[in-house]
Structure 1
Amino acid sequence: MNNYKKKLAHGLSWVLHPFVLPLYMIVVLLTLTVFAHYSTGVKCYLLWVVVLYAIVIPALSLGVLRSLGRISSYRVDERRERLLPLLIGAICYVLCAITIARIPSAAFLRKFMLAAACCEVMCLVVSGYWKISLHLTGMGAVVALLVVMNILGVGNMMIPLMVAILLAGALASARLYLGCHNAAQVLAGFCGGFVVTVLAVLFL
């Protein structure tokens, strides 16, 4: 039973990995909001841009860092080993925002990527002194975006919001069960991601 719980916790950690959360969000945005009216070509372009900058380049960067001995594991569990990957992630999100800015009507999507970059920077700063949960930072950002979209009328996000909150709770439990973080690190990650994302979307 314990082995099953451990596998479930690991599976949830990978399915809700910070790398893939932007992909889930862009799919939601392009199907359930006003952005669903974009042409298929524009949707494919935006999907490719997000996959490239949020998943492909960061994943390749981890591979390079691992081969150079700069990180000991692809999970990057060591606090000090996170600094360079987080910096690369922040740069990738900024580049993604710049690329998306080529579509003037996609201003909210650009803000989404800038918010992700700000979350990376926040985690980078905190990781210099303390181990914060990157997974829950990502989930906090997702919940914040869905709340803001509901308020701004970008789309009816109540069902996705409820699902995101439930998944955030499940992910927090998984990270605690695996011993990757304590309760304070999980809570700080979620709250930090939420607050930074709201501020970034509203003011950037």
Structure 2
Amino acid sequence: MNHLKSIPIATLLLVLVSLLSTPSNAITFTVKNNCPYTVWGAAVPGGGRQMNPGATWIVTANPGQTGARIWARTGCTVTGPNGLRCTTGDCGGKLQCTAYGTPPNTLAEYALKQFNNLDFFDISLVDGFNVPMSFLPEGGQCSRGPSCRADLNGPCPGPLRTNGGCNNPCTVFKTDNYCCNSGSCSATDYSRYFKGKCPDAYSYPKDDATSTFTCPSGTNYRVTFCP
């Protein structure tokens, strides 16, 4: 134990705080950039980071977390120590996201340890599309998860086209039949375009039946950009 005398007290305190602030039951999301170009990963909770091709980023969240998202930002320019402006997925001009991204952006969404001790997770195109994505469980407890591997940007319908992505029609037209503000909307030709390309993903706000996946609480996950 004499070797501890050579370690500064401040260092020992930092290690102790780190251990106490990282719950042993935290869920791990392994985020990987398989795209042949750099993206800037974003997560709420989790912050953000630059991800060159092949890069991996570990994001953690605690059981009970709801309203969480992971996404990729593209067309980004560094503007300061925590400044980052992006063409798609921008989160208020910050590198470390504390707010959701600006459409269009493909979203991995999740809520942990909810009804019946289940995690609920999905890929959503309700905010449009910028990069292909998969969102899959890791380990033996669960095997099913959503993937959206198609390129929706190239054949994107003309009115939805935008720099770096494909907008959802609500973003463009802001009408109730696309945004579902009254809770009574149904599929449209535009939402069918998204669903036809990515059957696993949410295509409009009421698209629940084929788009929500569940795994037992405690499952870890892998989010891949350009799987």
Q: Does TM, normalized by the shorter one, top 0.5?
A: no
Instruction: Using structure 1 for the length normalisation, give the TM-score.
Output: 0.29
More helix by percentage: 1
Normalised to the residue count of structure 2, the TM-score between the two structures is 0.27
Higher percent of residues as strand? 2
